[in-house]
Amino acid sequence: MEQTVTQNKQPEKKTRKGLKITAIILTLITALLVVALLYVRQETIKIVAELNSEKDELVGNLETLRGEYNALQTSNDTLNAQLELEKHKVELMIEKIRRTDATNRARIREYEKELGTLRDIMRGYIRQLDSLNTLNIQLREETSTAKAEAQQTREKYESLIQTTDHLAQKVEQGSILKARDVTITGINTRGKDVTRARSAHKLKTCFTLLENSMAERGARMVFIRVKGPDGILMTQSQGNIFLAGGEQLVYSDMREVDYQGSDIEMCIFYGGNNEHFAKGAYTVEIYSGGGLIGSGQGLLK
């Protein structure tokens, strides 16, 4: 009887020992999993922190660029308007980045490329301002010298001006057709100009085709390419194709005009099919005769 009890206890001991070993193994596996999860979590936190740091640095660079635009000053109203539009683009980009998750690396890289483009544009404006300042200094010096010189010097100066004007007229006559006073504004359903995006039913691009006695007369096709605040071309059909500079371009809208060599004031409209316009700066390029003949900008609030 005692031998039977002893024999029964031995399998029970082996079973308990096996269960203990299994429990120890499971405990070790659980511990390893916890350590691994903690490591992954720490690495994730580190990566997110680095991405947020990159995002903050990008916002800081844009804010610096905005400050540089604020510091630029000129008496040229047209250039001031262009500077305001570029500064508005920077402000819109800052808002977009702040709303973008730092883990969206693709979007952040796109914004970094846009920052590079905006910096290049800034450098271009700085060169323009330097040129204007240099030109103003030269003009002041020439004016001061002209006042001090004799009548004979004045007559030579006037003769030089007349020669320059004559040469400029010849260059203009021989050049292709040009458009000036380009504006792009919003209009409502009644055709009235509006400044707010939510009130805009269409975009109206107006300009003047300049007088040019050397330009070809007759029917001409004039195309516009409108780009929204996001820089994307606006069109109602990808089939709207025309040739310019030897390549095919998509246009937003077009109009035929009978050009007879004199100034023509005209407008071309885009939109109207329940299209919604976003707030921000809009740009327009005008093409005719296979080349770019003018451009302009406008702002919808």
Q: Which of 109, 126, 148 is the last residue of a domain?
A: 148
pLDDT at 54 over 80: no
How many domains would you assign to the chain? 2
CATH number of the domain to which 269 belongs: 2.60.40.10
Domain presence at residue 133:
yes
3-class SS at 296?
A: strand
Place of tokens 């035929």: 256
Say yes or no: 93 and 212 in one domain: no
Determine the Cα–Cα distance for residues 107 and 202; give it in Å rounded to an integer: 30
Q: Which domain holds residue 219?
A: 179-300
Last residue of a domain, one of 148, 171, 193: 148
List beta partners, residue 288: 222, 291
Q: Are residues 18 and 144 in the same domain?
A: yes
Q: Is residue 159 part of a domain?
A: no
Q: Which of 148, 171, 203 is the last residue of a domain?
A: 148
Residue 59 covered by a domain: yes
Q: DSSP labels for 244-272?
A: ETTEEEE-SEEEEEEE-SS-EEEEEEEE-
| Same-domain pairing of 142 and 183 | no
Handedness of CA 45, 46, 51, 57 (dihedral sign): positive
Question: Same domain for 75 and 184?
Answer: no
Q: H or E segment at 292?
A: strand 291-300
**Domain shared by 183 and 90, yes or no:** no
User: Are 130 and 194 within one domain?
Assistant: no
Evaluate whether residue 44 is within a structural domain. yes
Question: Is the domain of 81 the same as that of 196?
Answer: no
Same domain for 215 and 143: no
Q: 271 Cβ partners below 8 Å, 6+ apart?
A: 200, 201, 202, 203, 277
Pair 114, 184 in one domain: no
Q: Could you give the count of Cα atoms lying within 13 Å of 115 in the half-sphere of its Cβ?
A: 20
Please give the single-letter amino acid code of residue 213.
S
Residue 251 lies in a domain: yes
pLDDT digits (tens, 9 = 90+) for 241-299: 999 988 999 999 999 999 998 999 999 999 877 788 999 999 999 999 889 999 999 99
Answer whether residue 172 is part of any domain. no
Percent of the chain with pLDDT over 70: 78
Global pTM reads: 0.43
Question: What are the tokens at 127?
Answer: 């060169």
Q: What is the DSSP letter of 188?
A: -
Neighbours of 13 (CB within 10 A): 9
Q: Would you say residue 102 lies in a domain? A: yes
Give the pLDDT confidence score for residue 229 in this predicted structure.
94
The DSSP annotation for 126-176 comes to HHHHHHHHHHHHHHHHHHHHHHHS-HHHHHHHHHHHHHHHHHHHHHHHHSP
User: In this structure, are 66 and 191 located in the same domain?
Assistant: no
193, 140: one domain: no
- Identify whether the C-beta of residue 47 lies closer than 8 Å to the C-beta of residue 101: no
Q: Tens digit of pLDDT for each residue in 104-133?
A: 777 778 877 777 787 778 777 777 777 777
